[in-house]
Every structure is written in structure tokens, then in C-alpha cells.
Amino acid sequence: MPDSTATTLPGCDAQASWKPHGSYSLRQSLGILQRGAGDPTAQVTDDTAWLCFHAPGGPVTLLARHPAGRDTEVFLKAWGPGAEHAVERGLHLLGAYDDWRAFDAPETSALLHPVVARSRKFNPGLRFPSTGRVFDALLPAILEQKVTLIEAHFAWRYLCRAVGEIPPGPAPADMRLPPSPAAVRSLQPWQWHQARVDSKRSATAVRAAAAAASLERWAVLELGAVRENVMGEGTLAAALGSIPGVGPWSIAEVLQRTHGAPDHVSVGDYHLAAFVGQVLTGRRVDDAGMLELLAPFSGHRQRVVRLIGLSGQRKQSFGPRLAPMDHRRS
């Protein structure tokens, strides 16, 4: 298990350090937490990540630094009432407990498509983070339902700046805490319209905010062997799926971030199945076809998907694109 230390130092409320075994990429590992280049809650570069969020102890600003080099440590500093908790969970956030050994075993590696095998070779520093923050992952996933990322990221920025509080500590200018469940429930219809969020997504967001307290009880529990479309009682996936408007795609998007889920695939994505099929077979497939192609990697299907995304391959463009929608006059 990784080792860490946490102390209080001048200039911050808590800090920690972790020395990865082998390669580690801060941008690839934590980049999934940033919702577009202008995300007010997360700014991630090759060697620095600023994250602002609500922890059980209160709001926190967390800074992660990873100086260039294979064997260098990752340093964490945190400010605010939630600093201690953020540091205690820091190794989970960084992906320090994400275990690739079974995926890298010869019996699995032998099954990989050459594109995926090369991507793994050239991206050895990828880890899956586990934030343990359910609502912070669920709200932007709801905003991303059935719209372009441009529209979803606009909505996320608008809501963060409209009702997100100023974070503690020396966070970069214009950063904000994510909207709290109470803040989301207080939003007026005109604010949703200004954010370009239609009534269906806004209603789902309000329902999610109402259920946030119960959802967060699952935050630090082990995910367990939950498979797509097999969401029995007593799981976070089942709790998420009980919210009208939250389906398998949103559930996968949440669990990939909250628990570093290595097997949950975002079924229902507008582009993903066609892209996976293009890379693995040279032809487009639907969701069922994608899951069939990924079946040999059960337990690691999302690892394959992420490596395809990092492979440098680009999805072929055919037919009309999904056009942005403007709901401000609806």
C-alpha cells in the first residue's frame, strides 16, 4: 500500500506526499475531473492540479504538484476547514490505490489490440482517481446528458460562477467551489435558462440535489463487483439509478470519478461506441457491439476505453453533428 505523511506547515492547513512506484501522470490521472478548459473547480496541467471542493469538514482548496521526472514525489497542500480530510483522502484522489497488475498480466496483454497495447506502453502513468464525492460528479454528468460538451461545459461554468462559493486559500483567480446541493435547489428557472439547461436536466439535477445526503453515505465505501445493467439493491449504482433521469451512462460517468471504476463503460454515449468499434475493428458499432468487443476484458473495460482515448486515434466524422441547443427562450 502507498505511504503518505500529513502535517501542518506554514502557509497551508495540511500537506502530504506520495512517491509513486514507476511512472505517474498528473494530467492523465486527474484530467478526468476537469470539465473543460475553463472549469472553475479544477485546473490540471502536466505538473500542477488545483481542485476546489466541499469535504466533510468544510470547503477546501487542494494543490497537487508533481515535478517532472519518473521517480519524483507528488506533493499535496490543502487550505480550508476541509483540508485535513482532503489530505487523508489524497492518495485515493491521486489514484495511488488503482491497481493495474491484472490488466498488465501476460494473459490480458496478449488479448489487447495493437493500438491499445501501444497506448498502454506510451501512457504508463495513467491512474484512475477516486474522489469519494458523489454529487460533485453527478451534477456535471447530468448537465452533459444529450448535449454537446461545449453546451455542458458552459452550463457548468455558469452554475459554478452563479452559486459556487469562493474557495479558501490561494486558489487561482476565478476558481469556485462546486455548487452545493442546497444551492442547486435554490436556483430559479431563469438561472437554468441562462445556463442553457433544459427543464428535463434541471429537474433531474434538483432531484439529485434532494438525494445528495443519502448518496454521499456511499462515497467512501468500496464499490464492489457491480456490473453494467446489474444494479442490485445495496449499491451506489442502485442508489443513483433510483433517481429519475439518471441512467446507465450517468452512473458510469459518476463511478469512474468517485471510485475509479475500471469496468464501468459509458453506454449510451453519442460517440463512444462508434469510436471504439472504429479503433478495434475498423468499422462503427452500436453499444451492444462495443460491449461485445470489450467482453474479453471484463473487469477492465474502462481501462481499454481510456487507453483508446489516449492512443492518438481520432473518430471518423460522417453525417450531421449534434448541434448546440439554446434553451434561454424556451
**DSSP codes, 239-262:** HHHTSTT--HHHHHHHHHHHS--S
pLDDT computed for residue 5 by the predictor: 45
Specify the amino acid at residue 177. Answer: L
pLDDT computed for residue 234 by the predictor: 61
Q: What letters, b where the CB count within 10 A reaches 16 and e where it falls short, cover 36-74?
A: eeebbbbbbeeeebbbbbbbbeebbbbbbebeeeeeeeb
> What are the structural domains of the chain?
5-97 (3.30.310), 98-325 (1.10.340.30)
Contact 264, 251 (CB under 8 A): yes
pLDDT computed for residue 232 by the predictor: 42
Measuring CA to CA, which residue among 13, 16, 171, 17 is closest to residue 81?
13
Contact 306, 296 (CB under 8 A): no
Contact 59, 52 (CB under 8 A): yes
pTM (predicted TM-score): 0.89
Contact 125, 70 (CB under 8 A): no
- Report the alpha-carbon distance of residue 56 to residue 174 in Å, rounded: 23
CA-CA distances (angstroms) from residue 78 to 54, 110, 167, 219? 12, 42, 11, 20
pLDDT computed for residue 75 by the predictor: 96
Q: What is residue 323's DSSP assignment?
A: P
Q: List beta partners, residue 78.
A: 14, 62
Contact 80, 13 (CB under 8 A): yes
Residue given cell 445528495 in the structure block: 212
- Report the alpha-carbon distance of residue 243 to residue 299 in Å, rounded: 26
Contact 226, 188 (CB under 8 A): no
- Report the alpha-carbon distance of residue 208 to residue 226 in Å, rounded: 21
- Report the alpha-carbon distance of residue 15 to residue 61 in Å, rounded: 12
pLDDT computed for residue 69 by the predictor: 60
pLDDT computed for residue 259 by the predictor: 95
pLDDT per residue, tens digit, the chain (330 aa), is: 454 444 444 489 999 999 998 899 999 999 999 999 999 999 999 999 999 999 999 999 999 999 876 568 999 999 999 999 999 999 999 999 999 999 999 999 999 999 999 999 999 999 999 999 999 999 999 999 999 999 999 999 999 999 999 999 999 999 999 999 999 999 999 999 999 999 999 999 999 999 999 999 888 777 753 443 333 446 899 999 999 999 999 999 999 999 999 999 999 998 999 999 999 999 999 999 999 999 999 999 999 999 999 999 987 765 555 555 554 444
pLDDT computed for residue 170 by the predictor: 95
pLDDT computed for residue 329 by the predictor: 45
